[in-house]
Amino acid sequence: MSIRLRLTAWYTGILFVTLLIFSSAVYGFVHLYTYEELKQRIEQQADKIGFTQGAVEVLPNRSSAISLEEADLYVQTYTFYNGKLWQSQNMAFSGIQFDVPSVEKALNSKQAFKRVTVNGNSFLVFENRVVETNSGKLFGWIQVGANTRTIEQTLDRLQSILIMGSAATLVIASTLGLFLARKSMKPIGKVTEAAEQIQKGTDLSVRIEYDGPQDEIGQLIGTFNGMLERTEGFYKELEDAYAAQRRFVSDASHELRTPLTTIRGNVDLLQKMWEVAPGERADMDEATIKQISFEAVGDISDEAKRMSRLVNDMLSLARADTGQTFELDPVPLQPLVEEVARRAHFLEKTAEWHVGELSVLNGVYVEGNKDYLQQMLFIFIENAFKYTPEGEVSLDVVLYKGQVGLRISDTGIGMDKDEVPFIFERFYRADQSRGITSGTGLGLSIAKWIIDEHKGSVEVVTRRGEGSTFIVWLPVVFAPPLE
């Protein structure tokens, strides 16, 4: 059974119970009120009866009898002494007679009401005994009744009205309830259709249009659309991650293929040379063989170092991808930068190396890791040397609004501004540098990861043919006041 039918069934059942209780209460109240009013009228009229009590029978006086008949009441008296029965004219005319109890029952009875049926007519009869004034002995029996046919007909009509009205109300309420339930559950159907559409296809851009009130269903649709939006975002991120992974594997394979090919070619050359006995090759003397062997081993060593650097860089990026972090401690910047500047003198380079004034870093601390900060600076410095065949490379610092900027500038080949957003991607190298300078294209990716872990940022200013400037901004945790 669907939710719509269950809701309609519940509403109908609750309404049925409510109507049953209400109808029973109305009928019971009208029934009780009507008969109680009749009883009070009968009892009040019976109390007003004046008796003419003779020696042989009990008779209401004429005025009382006329008054009772005018009130549409039926009066009957019975005298136990001689068995005389007296009836009002309306009773005698209609041939109606109430049952008279025996003396024993009359003695043990008190005034009371009872319902009787005479000649197919229903009566509510008030009965009471009549005692002698002087001796207090049982003398007779008086009965005052009223025809309840009109009341019963009215109650029957009321009962029919309540039953038919309740039935009609149930039918109308059930029909309207089913209609409203379908209308209310229609947005849920849209949610189901959207979910099925997504299940059958891969279109996560589907959204449910809803312009109704922000009730429970509106909130459900809003939550569902929000879930779809987040799922679409996760799916796109996953696709981007898979694309980056495929690109990473492809680029890594490409970068590893070159040194492996070089190593294998040199190994094959050495193997062929060593398989030939000395003196058997007329075109090569021993010195030439040694020279070739020395060069081949040198190439193998250089390519092995290159592969080692590539593997280390890939391991660093793999740790970054897994979310691994490193401990951060307050690090004084002046000794760290001075050490990097000193060691940069010994790097392989063809450009001049200039170091600016570093005394402004005295007393300046950042929250970071000394080793990773040094690695990050060496990546930028080595890149500057690599892409500056002639000219100069400089390092200086600047303090600005609670941040310290480590600036590495060069006058090298530079790059176009549209290439800047991609230089921190893995294995990316500017087109103009491919095949001219060696490298794996992972250095700047590692540097960007280190900067992000230190909650810093990097600023790039470059122009083709005029060089590049990288400014690494790091938040300062402590610095002496500026003079």
Domain match, 2 and 148 both: yes
410 phi and psi angles, rounded to 5 deg: -145, 165
Of 21 and 272, the one with more pLDDT: 21
* DSSP code at position 50: P
Is the pLDDT at 335 greater than 80? The verdict is yes
How much is the pLDDT for 186?
Answer: 75
The structure tokens listed for 171 are 């039918």
Would residue 364 count as lying in a domain? yes
Domain match, 270 and 388 both: no
Domain match, 32 and 130 both: yes
Least confident of 77-81, 138-142, 203-207, 454-458: 203-207
**Domain span holding position 379:** 325-475
Nearest to 252 by CA among 307, 322, 324, 319: 307
Residues 6+ apart with CB under 8 A from 230: none
Q: What is the pTM of this model?
A: 0.45
User: Number of structural domains, the chain?
Assistant: 3
Domain match, 231 and 289 both: yes
Would residue 337 count as lying in a domain? yes
Average pLDDT rounded to a whole number, residues 280-307: 72
Domain match, 11 and 131 both: yes
Domain match, 364 and 471 both: yes
Look at residues 261, 292, 323 and tell me which one is the last residue of a structural domain: 323
352 phi and psi angles, rounded to 5 deg: -80, 145
SS3 217: helix
Average pLDDT rounded to a whole number, residues 146-165: 90
Are 470 and 410 in contact by the 8 Å Cβ rule? The answer is: no
CATH code, domain carrying 283 = 1.10.287.130
Would residue 169 count as lying in a domain? no
How much is the pLDDT for 435?
Answer: 42
Look at residues 153, 182, 214 and tell me which one is the last residue of a structural domain: 153
CA distance 289 to 225: 74
Domain match, 149 and 7 both: yes
Compute the chain's Rg from CA coordinates: 56
Nearest to 98 by CA among 129, 60, 143: 143
Domain match, 33 and 134 both: yes
The 10 Å Cβ neighbour count of residue 57 is 19
> In the block, which residue shows the tokens 């200086």?
396
pLDDT band with cut points at 50, 70 and 90 for residue 434:
very low
CATH code, domain carrying 40 = 3.30.450
Of 244 and 114, the one with more pLDDT: 114
Average pLDDT rounded to a whole number, residues 174-186: 80
Are 463 and 403 in contact by the 8 Å Cβ rule? The answer is: no
Domain match, 214 and 100 both: no
SS3 136: coil
How much is the pLDDT for 203?
Answer: 66
Structure confidence by residue, pLDDT tens digits, 43-78: 887 777 766 655 455 667 666 666 666 667 888 888
What is the percentage of the chain residues whose pLDDT exceeds 90? Answer: 19
How much is the pLDDT for 456?
Answer: 92
How much is the pLDDT for 398?
Answer: 92
Would residue 208 count as lying in a domain? yes
CATH code, domain carrying 358 = 3.30.565.10
Regarding beta strands 365-368 and 467-478, do their DSSP bridges make them parallel or antiparallel, or are they unpaired? antiparallel
The average confidence (pLDDT) of the chain is: 80
Would residue 220 count as lying in a domain? yes
Would residue 170 count as lying in a domain? no
Domain match, 277 and 287 both: yes
Q: How many helices (H) and strands (E) does the chain have?
A: 10, 14
Are 72 and 147 in contact by the 8 Å Cβ rule? The answer is: yes
Please, what sign has the CA dihedral across residues 115, 118, 123, 127?
A: negative
CA distance 380 to 447: 8
How much is the pLDDT for 407?
Answer: 95
- Alpha-carbon distances, residue 176 vs 20, 164, 216, 263, 272 (angstroms): 20, 18, 21, 84, 96
Structure confidence by residue, pLDDT tens digits, 71-112: 678 888 888 878 888 888 888 888 888 888 888 888 887 888
Look at residues 132, 153, 174 and tell me which one is the last residue of a structural domain: 153
Nearest to 304 by CA among 346, 262, 271: 262
Residues 6+ apart with CB under 8 A from 56: 79, 81, 82, 84
Would residue 181 count as lying in a domain? no
Domain match, 341 and 454 both: yes
pLDDT band with cut points at 50, 70 and 90 for residue 430:
low
Structure confidence by residue, pLDDT tens digits, 450-480: 898 889 999 999 988 889 999 999 999 876 6
Of 300 and 370, the one with more pLDDT: 370
How much is the pLDDT for 277?
Answer: 54
The structure tokens listed for 421 are 């957003």
Domain match, 37 and 131 both: yes
Structure confidence by residue, pLDDT tens digits, 398-427: 998 889 999 999 999 888 888 888 888 766
How much is the pLDDT for 237?
Answer: 78
Least confident of 31-45, 115-129, 138-152, 321-335: 321-335
Would residue 46 count as lying in a domain? yes
Is the pLDDT at 316 greater than 70? The verdict is no
